[in-house]
Structure 1
Amino acid sequence: MGYRAAERQLPGDGYEKGSGRLWRRAEKDYRALYGASVHMAGRGEAVARRENYCEIDPKVVDRYGIPVLRFNVSHSEYEIKQAKHMKETFSQILHAMGAVVTHGHKDGDHNNWGLHAPGNIIHEAGSVRMGNDPKTSPLNKWNQAHEVKNLFCMDGGPFVSQADKNITWTILALSMRASEHLIDEMKKIIFKYRPPWTEENRSKPFSSAASVPAYWSRPVLTRKTKSRSRKQTHRPVKKT
C-alpha cells in the first residue's frame, strides 16, 4: 500500500491486528486517506411499443442453417426521461452525503443520460406476447400458442411489458399458472374416456377404446410382470 507507521505495515500487507495504540492510529489514518466508494444504479420500466419487434432474419442463419431472430428495438422518450430523473436523483443524494461524484456525472442528452442499449442488462422480456387476439399475440392467456395447441412458452417471452424489477418470480408464477391449466385440461381428456374414480365407477371401462390415444392403451408392466415375462421367454441352454 505504501503507507507505513513506525516501520509497521498496514492491514493486508503483513501488519498484524491487535498491536494496541499503533494499530488504532494506523487504522484511523487508513480511513482518512483512502475513504470509501459508493455506486448507484437505476432500473426503469421499458414500455411496450409497436415499433419494437422481432422477425426472422432473411439473410443470417446459425451454424445449423436455421434462420436467426432479428430485433428492431430502440428507447422511447419515456425511457430516456427515466434515466435523466435517476441521474439527477443520484447526484442530489451523493452531494447531500458530502461525496464527490467521480463517474457518470458527464452523462447528458448526448448519450441518453447513460442509458444502456436494449439487451445490455439481459433482463429484457417479451417478443412472444400473450393476448386474446391471435392477430396481435402469438400466445393466449395460458402461455399457449394460438396456432399450435400443444406448444406452451414458459419463460419471459409472454410478457407484454417489462417493469423495473427482476422478472424471475413472475416467470415462475406464470409457469405455475400455465402448468395448473395443463393439468386441468388433461383431467378433462382422461375423464372423457374414463369416469371419475369412485367405488361405483371403478369397474367401468373406457367409453371408447378406439378413441384412446395409443400411449394410453399400452399395458403398464410392473417389475413382477417383467420378471415373469423373462422366465416364460427364457430358453434353457443345453449342456454339452
Structure 2
Amino acid sequence: MTTTTDVTGFSTESGSRRADRMRLFAQPAAVVVIVGLVLAWAFSRDNDEIEAQSIQAGVLLTKTWEHLVITAVVAAMVVGIAVPLGMLLTRTWARPAAPAFIGIANIGQAAPVLGVLVLFFLWTEWEGLWAAALPIAFYSLLPVLRNTITGIESVDPALVDAGRGIGMSSSGVLLRIELPLAIPLILAGLRTSLVLAVGTATLAFFVNGGGLGELIDTGYKLNRVPVLVVGAVLAVGLALLVDWIGAVLEEYLGPKGLS
C-alpha cells in the first residue's frame, strides 16, 4: 500500500489512495440516494392506468432480477471462456494463434450488439435468457481476454525463471506466479465487461430475455415518461453498482504486495 510519512513520523495513506477509498463508499451511497429519490417520485405521483401497471414494486423487482441474472450468466461465461483461453494463448506453442482469437473477440465488440442479438436469434430461433446472454457474452469477451494475455505476459521474466529454478513445472509457474500477478489486470477487464453486460442487457427484451429494457421500451413507445425514467435510472444505477463491485474486487482480491 502506498504511504507517506508526516512530520510526526506516522505513516499515512497517499491522497490518491484516500480518494479511492472514499469513492468506494460514495459511489453506492449516491446510487441508493438517486434511485430512492426517483422511485419515491414515481410512486408518489398520480399515475394513469398504464403507468401504474409498470411502476409497482413487484414488476420493478422482477425486471431488475431478470437484468441481474443476465449479467451474472454473462459474467460466468466470460470468465469461464476468456481466462482459460487467455492463459492458453500465453504458452509459447499457442502464441501464434493469439492474434486470431483477439481479432475474433474484437469483431464481437466492434459489431453493433443489437445486430448480434438479432442475427443470433434468426440463426438459432431461440428466445429468452440464453438467446440474450450468449451474444452479450460474445460482445463482452474482449476486455477479459486481452487483459488476461497482457497481464500474464507482463510478469517479470526473472520471477518466472526463479520459479522454474526451484523446480516448478510450467503449469505450476503459470498457476502460482503468473496468474496471481496478472489478477489486477484481469479484474480490471472483468469490471469493464460487467459494465458492458449491464448496458447491453437492456436490449434483451428484443429476444424475450426480459430485463429493465422492457420498462424503457414501454415508456418510449407509449410516451409514458415516468416509466421510461424509472427503467433508465434503475439500469444506470445497476451499472454503477456493478462497476463499484468491480472496484471492490480490484481493491481486495489483487496481490497484497502490489496494493
Q: TM-score range by the shorter chain?
A: under 0.3
Structure with bigger gyration radius? 1
TM-score (norm 1): 0.22
Structure with greater strand share of residues: 1
Structure with more relative contact order (C-alpha pairs < 8 Å, separation 6 or more)? 2
Structure with greater helix share of residues: 2
